[in-house]
Structure 1
Amino acid sequence: MPPFAAPSIPKKRPFAGEACTKIVATLGPASDSVEMITKLIQAGADVFRINTAHGDRAAHQQTLDNVRQASAEADFHAAVLVDLAGPKIRLGQLVTEPLQLDEGMTVSFVAGDDSPSELELTSTYENLISELEVGDRVMLADGLVSLRVTQATEQRAECVVTGGGAIRSRQGINLPGVKLSVLAMLPRDIDNAIWAAKNEVDIISLSFVRSPEDVHSLRKLLDEHDSKAIIVAKIEKPEALQCLEEIVDATDAIMVARGDLGVEIDIAETPVAQKRIIRVCRSRIKPVIVATQMLESMHHHSRPTRAEVSDVANAILDGADACMLSGETAIGDHPVKALQTMNHIMCCTENDLTSTSISFGQKQHRRVGRVHEVTSAMTEAATNVAESIGAKLVVIATRSGNTAWVKSQSRSIIPTLGVSESVGTLRRMNLMWGIKPFHVESVGEPTEFIQAMSNWGKENDLLKTGDRVVFMTGTKLIEKVHNSVVVHTVK
């Protein structure tokens, strides 16, 4: 028996019905059971997000365990993304719940955890009062309520309401343009990052990144705990936009966190900022996730709005590697339906790209730091060959997933299998556009590998006699380099 042993086709969902753009689904009370996670995998989820801003360690551990169990039952190695809360500033406990603030009213921020009176507010950031200055803007409830500081002393910051609305305890506070001294990772974030590393979590995202040094701090921490997790820097502060290129260079991937970003900057500038972020990521071969309110109306409705459908489609057309569902799957009434809807929008958009021969990939050859320059050149060559001959499948044998990482940025619509013996590598490949993770016990020699994959494709009705498959492997003449491209015709 050859050393290569291929499993049966994964149960996740039909191969042909799977979008190339990946889906990140946030887990919460509506979706964190093994049964629901299994359904989400079958509906199209690739990555599951655990938001550490909510819940405690026991809840996070249970959710992680449930994802692993559901992955085993669905025969699909789903990835897990642990989202570090970062220095998110929130309101303390209010006296009145909810509290209606009308335009022209005066409220004050005071020290402490609980509000001493109805119009005296507290926050989770103890230095807030000392760092606020007259004229600063304060945004509450995701930007729905706005204040302007009129007086600032050591004991209180008095504000006038410039945009009215209702607020609740523990809602977020945004301070557009205010320079804060708070660190990128608070003690709870460090603790959560270490927990994630020890549990071999696949992806870790850092909130409110302001500089590349924030990313370096997290990477140093993960290196100390031998973690191979992909680091995602969340862009949601104006300071991050000012040094965007440097942050993209420092991190592994980017998230366009439009919720807080749309509050921190002019909301009308958010679409342009999104396009710029994606463009920079594409130029540097870094995956990018577009997040927040993509199918917001599906919290309570079974159908999205036309604007939301266009939003998802435009993110794909811009070049996003993944789109994320937040409350839609975490607390919504239709988590599975929301995921199915997103997958359907993605497939329709990608089908149009195919039918009109639109390519938003970068055709010029670029050296990529993640792989040897020979691997980078051969990956581009393999993509060009596959498209020229109308190959039915591209197969990449990879230990680390880095070659598949580079291949994903070609945006070729030819189905691509990232074949690996490493479960961790398979999970991380779930963030890569167009790459279908495929587990084998052992790759073996190239000739055996090619024949076994060809046989597997025929047995599972994915290939037929005469179809061409492009294989990327290494001859081991150069260590850790893919230097062989083979075109195989199925017999």
Structure 2
Amino acid sequence: MSRPTLCEACTKIVATVGPACDTVERLVTLIEHGVDIFRINSAHGDREQHSRTLANIRAASAQVGYSVGVLLDLAGPKLRLGKLLEEPLQCELGMELTFVRGDKPGSPTELTSSYPRLIDELKPGNHVMLADGTVALRVEEVHANRARCRVIGGGEIRSRQGINLPGVALSVSSMRPRDVDNAIWGAKEGVDLISLSFVRTAEDVRSLKNLLTSYESTALVIAKIEKREALEHLESIVDASDGVMVARGDLGVEIDVAETPVAQKRIIRICRDKLKPVIVATQMLESMHHNKRPTRAEASDVANAILDGADACMLSGETAIGEFPVEAVDTMHRIMIHTEQEMLTAISDPRQNGSNRVHPITSAVAYGATTIAESIGAKLIVIATRSGGTAWVKSKQRSLIPTLGASDNEETLRRMTLFWGIKPCRVSQLDDAEVLFDEISRWGCQNGMLAPGDRIVFVTGNSVMHHAHNLLVVHSVTAESCRIGAVATSPTPSSPEPSPPAPNPSTPKPVREPATPE
């Protein structure tokens, strides 16, 4: 059975594409097992590889007949060690190491950096974290061309490993020339989401948005929270962005690892208050790089992210380079299903902050649709949407009743892959409500998801109220719809558009809803 189905998880799965899953056949398998969004990590590979990956994702999506989203992850300014004279270098507790200018260290204990202004911006007392935080240094002295440091957390380092500078005010821009070039490429290619690394203020987010706007891109901008400065300006960053990623890898180095769980909960809470989607990322099922089963702690980590209110969870190396990418996706999906079954339905108040991203009538109708659907035991809620704005608001109400985001716009279908609980469903048109009712009924009967007598709550619009979804209809599936569905020809996997039903000119046409929420 092709996706969507009414029994799949509400929380979305983001999977990173890499050598372990970069063919069309493997991507098809991952989509069939529950992946909603594929991430292209621009820190690895070149333009030719990225273009090939995007083409393969689109081909796999067409083959399955399910519109998956594509997230382009901008690398940002990654500070790295230069070439070491001694490889690897064992850093003993209390040992002295010195950063020097240039790219040629004079001794095994001298370090160089890819960031030319490093020495200028270090101060005595600053901490320097190397190799994803496994080695910690404290700056003792800073001179014109060198910064003397002492090892306060021992370990092993190698050439080109990352440098993190928690609490150090760096002047480097969040977008390097390569990031700008990649963002322009993504805009031209119609990528659905673009995530920005090294975010420190809302202005960083607005800079990327302005760039995308100049290329007429509708991509959602996802701010990666991985710096202490981002936590200090969190509310304004969330306001400026279309969504947020909790990038726990770098964040866990920039702040004390003991602070990370509470920081994650705070980020998710603020995103929920402001109706912004939030992705939890990094090391969610890390042990599944080489094992078919995760640790119990990892399973609990995924479940707690869902219970906190995450819209999506992301797999990185598990699918990109791991030995068991399909098993990792299956495991995450099973955890999501079991966790969501235990969740209490938490319906958001439509009057809360952030509900102004669509017309207030639309927000109230979406709220009412959930209440009515639960009170009458509806099998399904259907949001008819051209831009995805109404589905965006509906996703924050956290109802466990299956909800379709029905649209005839391909970009909107891919965008809705990020919205919690919204299952994108392609329909032939949105202008005729009766035709839409019949088309959804046939789709459900044809796939064994609906039966005669099942109730569906539709949220759509008519010409009475401009710019609003003001029509809420309770529709009962008829035996005639199921009979039609039983003999109808199923759409082929490579041709996901359903056969358009006959138009009904007597039905009033709903008006177009507002453009993509800002």
For 1:25-44, what aligned pairs fall within 5 Å after superposition?
Answer: 25-44=15-34
What does 1:320-469 correspond to in 2, within 5 Å? Answer: 320-353=310-343, 358-363=344-349, 365-366=351-352, 368-469=355-456
Q: Match for residue 246 of structure 2?
A: 256
Secondary structure in structure 2 of the residue aligned to 1:89:
coil
More displaced 10-residue stretch of structure 1: 97-106 or 253-262: 97-106
Q: What is the Cα deviation at residue 56 of structure 1?
A: 1.3
Tell whether the 8 Å contact from 1:106 to 1:159 is kept in structure 2 after alignment. Answer: yes
Selected match of 1:162 from 146, 149, 152:
152
State the distance in 2 between where 1:455 and 1:331 align: 41
Distance 1:32 1:118 in 2: 40
| Amino acid in the other structure paired with 2:263 | A
Distance 1:214 1:64 in 2: 26
For these two proteins, the number of residue pairs brought into alignment is: 477
- Other-structure match for 1:104: 94
Q: How many angstroms apart in 2 are the aligned matches of 1:188 and 1:115?
A: 27
Separation in structure 2 between the aligned mates of residue 303 and residue 153 of structure 1, nearest angstrom: 51
Q: 1:74-112, CA deviations, whole angstroms, 9 ceiling, x for partnerless residues? A: 211111100111122111222333222121221111223
- Indicate if the aligned counterparts of 2:345 and 2:400 stay in contact, CA closer than 8 A: no
Q: Structure 2 matches for 1:69-468, cutoff 5 A?
A: 69-113=59-103, 115-353=105-343, 358-363=344-349, 365-366=351-352, 368-468=355-455
The 3-state SS of whatever aligns with 2:199 is coil
Deviation at 1:308, TM superposition (A): 0.5
What are the Cα deviations for residues 270-328 of structure 1, in whole angstroms up to 9, with x where unaligned? 11111111110001100000111111111111110101000000000000000011111
Q: Check conservation: 1:257, 1:292, Cα contact below 8 A.
A: yes
Per-residue deviation, 1:263: 0.8
CA contact (8 A) 1:319 1:360 kept: no
The CA deviation at 1:364 is 5.5
Corresponding letter in the other structure for 2:16: T
Q: Does 1:476 find its partner at 2:463? A: yes
1:67 matches 2:57: yes
Question: Which moves more between the two structures, 358-367 or 214-223?
Answer: 358-367
State which drifts further: 91-100 or 406-415: 91-100
Letter in 2 for 1:464: A
- CA distance 1:100–1:408, change in 2 (3 Å): same
The change in CA–CA distance for 1:386 and 1:113 in structure 2 (over 3 A counts) is: farther
Contact 1:89 / 1:173 at 8 angstroms: preserved in 2? yes
State the secondary structure of the residue aligned to 1:149: strand
8 Å contact kept, 1:30–1:333: yes
Question: Match of 1:482, as an amino acid?
Answer: H
CA spacing shift, 1:12–1:95, aligned 2, 3 Å = farther
Instruction: Quote the Cα distance in structure 1 between the aligned partners of 2:325 and 2:39.
Output: 14
- Give the 3-state SS of the residue equivalent to 2:365 in structure 1: helix
Structure 2 CA distance for partners of 1:58 and 1:114, relative to 1, 3 Å: farther
Query: Partner of 2:415: helix, strand, or coil?
Result: helix
Which SS does the other structure have where 2:123 is aligned?
coil
Q: Distance in 2 between matches of 1:105 and 1:471?
A: 67
- Check the 8 A contact 2:97/2:149 in 1, yes or no: yes
Aligned-partner residue type, residue 132 of structure 2:
D
Structure-1 separation of matches of 2:158 and 2:419? 38
Aligned-pair identity in percent equals 61
Comparing 163-172 and 266-275, the one that deviates more:
163-172
The code of the aligned residue for 2:237 comes to: I
What residue identity is the alignment partner of 2:144?
Answer: E
TM-score w.r.t. the length of structure 1 is 0.95
- Cα deviation for residue 44 of structure 1 reads 0.8
Structure 1 contact 365–380 (Cα < 8 Å) conserved: no
Distance in 2 between residues matched to 1:93 and 1:121, nearest whole Å = 8
Q: Report the Cα offset of residue 217 of structure 1.
A: 0.4
2: CA distance, partners of 1:36 / 1:102: 44
3-state SS in 1 of match to 2:183: helix
CA contact (8 A) 2:350 2:367 kept: no
Kindly state the Cα deviation for residue 116 of structure 1 after the two structures are TM-superposed.
Answer: 4.6
Contact 1:106/1:158, CA 8 A, preserved across alignment: yes
CA deviation map 1:220-278 (0-9, x unaligned)? 00000000001100111111111111111111001111111111111111111111111
Aligned partners of 2:247 and 2:300: how far apart in 1?
A: 18
TM-score (norm 2): 0.90
Task: Give the unaligned 5+ runs of structure 1.
Answer: 1-8
Verify the 8 A CA contact 1:361 1:411 in the aligned structure 2. Answer: yes
Check conservation: 2:40, 2:71, Cα contact below 8 A: yes
Aligned partner letter, 2:126: D
Q: Is the 8 A contact 2:350 2:364 kept in 1?
A: no
Q: Which amino acid aligns with 1:211?
A: T
* Secondary structure of residue in 2 paired with 1:90: coil
Shift of 1:390: 1.0
Question: What CA distance in whole angstroms lies between the structure 2 residues aligned with 1:231 and 1:130?
Answer: 32
Separation (CA, whole Å) in 2 of partners of 1:116 and 1:416: 63
